[in-house]
Amino acid sequence: MKNIQPENLVFLDEMDVLLGLTRTHAGSYFGSKVYDFLPFYRGQKVTLVG
């Protein structure tokens, strides 16, 4: 490692995004309830390398 120059280093960053996630919180008018069901995951999965 002592012989490697800093300008010769390359760093990769990877992340992923799940496009079909459901919300965990909701808002409603005062005095009314929010109803929802949570279906199984149906969205795309995207991986990015930067």
Q: Strand locations in 1-50, DSSP E?
A: 14-18, 45-49
- The identity of residue 46, as a single letter, is V
Q: Is the pTM of this model over 0.85?
A: no
- Which residues does 49 contact at the CB level (< 8 Å), separation at least 6? 12, 13, 14
pLDDT the model gives residue 38:
66
pLDDT tens-digit readout, 1-33: 789 999 999 888 999 887 777 677 788 888 888
Averaged pLDDT for residues 32-45:
75
Averaged pLDDT for residues 32-46:
76
- Read off the pLDDT band of 40 (50, 70, 90): low
